[in-house]
Amino acid sequence: MTTSTLNGTVSISQRIKAGLVCLLIGVSLVFVAGMSQMSFAHSAAHDTRHAIGFPCH
């Protein structure tokens, strides 16, 4: 099954791959910044979570 787009077609497997890559990047960013020993990276991630209303404690 494919989906029509302006530039052609995108198969379901391509959409799943793209979604998994995005998920991997997002999880990596959370763990790298959230668990970082560098205080500025950890503080930036922490402040961002508070700014968007995401509970982190």
- At 13, the pLDDT band (50, 70, 90 cuts) reads very high
- Report the chain's mean pLDDT, rounded to a whole number: 79
- Arithmetic mean of pLDDT, 38-45: 74
- Residue 15: pLDDT over 60: yes
Q: Which pLDDT belongs to residue 3?
A: 58
Structure tokens at 35: 């668990």
pTM: 0.52
Q: Which tops the pLDDT comparison, 46 or 28?
A: 28
The Cα-based distances of 35 to 20, 28, 56 in angstroms read 22, 10, 13
